[in-house]
Chains A and B, each alone.
Chain A
Amino acid sequence: MDEFRIHTRIIDPPGANERAMLAAFLAPLGLDLEDDVEVSAVVDDGLVPIATASLAGDVIKCVGVLPEREGEGAAARAVSAIIAEAEARGRRHLFVYTRPRNRSIFESLGFVMLASTAGARPDEGVMLLQNDAHAFDRWAEAIASRLPGARAAGAVVVNCNPFTLGHRYLIERSAADCAGNGSTLLVLVVAGDRSSFPGAVREQLVRAGTADIGNVVVASGGAYCVSGATFPAYYLKEKSQAADLQAALDAELFASRIAPALGIRRRFVGTEPYCQVTAGYNRAMAEVLPRHGIELVQIPRVESGGAAISASAVRAALHDGDMARALALVPPTTAAWLRSAEAAPVLQKIRTGSGRH
Chain B
Amino acid sequence: MNIAHEASSGTQESGDARVMVRPNADKGLSVELLGPSTARYGDDIRAVVMATLKSLGVSDAVVVIEEKGALDATIRARLSAACGRAADGGSMPWEAIR
Q: Which of B7, B13, B66 contacts A73 (CB 8 A)?
A: B13
Are A92 and B6 neighbours in the complex by a CB distance under 8 Å? yes
Are B8 and A76 neighbours in the complex by a CB distance under 8 Å? no
Q: Which of A63-108 contact B (CB under 8 A)?
A: 73, 76-77, 80, 83-84, 87, 92, 108
Q: Does A149 contact B (CB under 8 A)?
A: no
Known: A73-B13, A73-B14. 18 other contacts (CB 8 A): A76-B11, A76-B13, A77-B13, A80-B11, A80-B12, A80-B13, A84-B11, A87-B7, A87-B8, A92-B8, A108-B12, A108-B68, A109-B11, A109-B12, A109-B13, A110-B12, A110-B18, A110-B66
A-B interface pairs (CB < 8 A), number:
22
Give the docked Cα–Cα distance between A25 and B51 (Å): 46
Interface string of B1-29 (1 = CB under 8 A from A): 00000111001111000100000000000
For residue B6, which residues in chain A have a CB less than 8 angstroms away from its CB?
92
Give the docked Cα–Cα distance between A108 and B13 (Å): 8
For residue A76, which residues in chain B have a CB less than 8 angstroms away from its CB?
11, 13
Nearest-Cβ distance from residue A102 to partner chain B, whole angstroms: 15
For residue B13, which residues in chain A have a CB less than 8 angstroms away from its CB?
73, 76-77, 80, 109
Nearest-Cβ distance from residue B16 to partner chain A, whole angstroms: 8
Give the docked Cα–Cα distance between A80 and B9 (Å): 11
Which 6 A/B pairs are nearest by Cβ-Cβ distance?
A: A80-B11, A109-B12, A110-B12, A87-B8, A76-B13, A110-B66
For residue B14, which residues in chain A have a CB less than 8 angstroms away from its CB?
73
Nearest-Cβ distance from residue B85 to partner chain A, whole angstroms: 9
For residue B68, which residues in chain A have a CB less than 8 angstroms away from its CB?
108
For residue A73, which residues in chain B have a CB less than 8 angstroms away from its CB?
13-14
22 contacts between A and B (CB under 8 A): A73-B13, A73-B14, A76-B11, A76-B13, A77-B13, A80-B11, A80-B12, A80-B13, A83-B11, A84-B11, A87-B7, A87-B8, A92-B6, A92-B8, A108-B12, A108-B68, A109-B11, A109-B12, A109-B13, A110-B12, A110-B18, A110-B66
Nearest-Cβ distance from residue B6 to partner chain A, whole angstroms: 7
Q: Which of B22-54 contact A (CB under 8 A)?
A: none
Give the docked Cα–Cα distance between A80 and B68 (Å): 13
Interface string of A181-213 (1 = CB under 8 A from B): 000000000000000000000000000000000
For residue B8, which residues in chain A have a CB less than 8 angstroms away from its CB?
87, 92
Residue on A with the closest CB to B34? A110
Residue on B with the closest CB to A92? B6
Give the docked Cα–Cα distance between A222 and B18 (Å): 27
Give the docked Cα–Cα distance between A92 and B18 (Å): 13
**Which of B11, B18, B68 is most buried by chain A, counting CB atoms within 10 A of its CB?**
B11
Give the docked Cα–Cα distance between A73 and B11 (Å): 12
Nearest-Cβ distance from residue B84 to partner chain A, whole angstroms: 13
For residue A84, which residues in chain B have a CB less than 8 angstroms away from its CB?
11
Residue on B with the closest CB to A83? B11
Give the docked Cα–Cα distance between A279 and B63 (Å): 47
Residue on A with the closest CB to B20? A92
Nearest-Cβ distance from residue A230 to partner chain B, whole angstroms: 22
Give the docked Cα–Cα distance between A77 and B6 (Å): 23
Residue on A with the closest CB to B8? A87
Nearest-Cβ distance from residue A13 to partner chain B, whole angstroms: 22
Give the docked Cα–Cα distance between A77 and B8 (Å): 17
Nearest-Cβ distance from residue B21 to partner chain A, whole angstroms: 12
Give the docked Cα–Cα distance between A84 and B18 (Å): 10
For residue A80, which residues in chain B have a CB less than 8 angstroms away from its CB?
11-13
Give the docked Cα–Cα distance between A88 and B12 (Å): 17
